[in-house]
Amino acid sequence: MSYYDRVKEAADAIAGRVHTVPDTAVVLGSGLGDFANSLADGISMPYDGLPHWPASGVIGHEGRLVVGTVKGRTIVALSGRCHVYEGHDLQTVTFAVRAIGLLGVKTLILTNAAGGVNTGFAQGALMVIDDHINLIGGNPLVGANDDRFGPRFPDMTEVYSARLRRLADDAGREIGTTLPHGVYVALLGPSYETPAEIRYLRTIGADAVGMSTVPEAIAARHMGLEVLGISCITNMAAGVLPQPLDHREVMETARRVRGQFIALLEGTIGRLG
């Protein structure tokens, strides 16, 4: 069975269990999965119950898909993702985005937990991604192109929609928050970066660093989806503060900003029109 056929089978399995096909999707990063529980009339589907769907073994990635409503709009929330550092190839990492694209989703909100490279950021800030730098070491579009997904050479001039970024800013102001904007850089992981690497990333224009999101954004734009990216700055990157990095800190910060994060997503989705 071809990659396209596996993705289509997964999309069809989701469509067969919902009454209304969602046009918006949210991928939830480490510790941010509580948003899936806030959906009204939610229909929950564990990843291991969907055909060919890859599972994540990372703490903070629950591993289920929920279709429900927010502000009267039907959306699909993906609580957890898989990563290249787990040993997956990039086709596997982008499988979920491909499936929701074939399902009929037109708008994708990608979220992640990230380290703050920009020393002006506060821990717990929610950063709107204006652009990204791909240092994972690969691209999900490498190999034969399947025109049913998208063109051979997709444009990446505006990966993250200016329209959606404005809507996020409006939603932030409504909840009393001025959202910082910045450039997100994706590295392979799973080790955190060294202080020297962080200095290098700051020099080339990075504001936040993580180990996800970029392959999904590339695949989504390949399929013509409109993309918004939001990073939760759960920790300051190596060398910014005189302390070691710990995944528990990532989870604790994500829990602390849970209410603000959910309010931002709800406000943004409510403005999609």
Give the three-class secondary structure for 111.
Answer: strand
Helix (H) or strand (E) segment spanning residue 201 = helix 195-203
Question: According to the model, what pLDDT value does residue 142 have?
Answer: 98
Number of independent structural domains in the chain: 1
Question: According to the model, what pLDDT value does residue 30 have?
Answer: 72
Whole-model pTM: value is 0.94
For residues 49 and 132, what is the distance between their CA atoms, to the nearest angstrom?
33
Q: Encode the chain (273 residues) as per-residue pLDDT tens digits.
A: 999 999 999 999 999 999 899 999 999 987 777 889 889 989 999 999 999 999 876 655 578 999 999 999 999 999 989 999 999 999 999 999 999 999 999 999 999 999 999 999 988 899 999 999 999 999 999 999 999 999 999 999 999 999 999 999 999 999 999 999 999 999 999 999 999 999 999 999 999 999 999 999 999 999 999 999 999 998 876 556 656 656 677 777 777 888 899 999 999 999 998
159 half-sphere exposure, CB direction, 13 A CA radius: 21
For residues 46 and 220, what is the distance between their CA atoms, to the nearest angstrom?
22
3-15 vs 95-103: helix axis angle to the nearest 10? 60
For residue 72, give its domain range. 3-270
pLDDT digit string (tens) for 174-211? 999 999 999 999 999 999 999 999 999 999 999 999 99
Catalytic residues: 30, 61, 83, 85-86, 113, 211-212, 235, 247
Count of other CB atoms within 10 angstroms of residue 200? 15
Question: According to the model, what pLDDT value does residue 223 have?
Answer: 98
Q: How far apart are the first and last CA of the chain?
A: 38
pLDDT digit string (tens) for 219-238? 999 999 999 999 999 887 65
**Domain containing 78 — which CATH number?**
3.40.50.1580
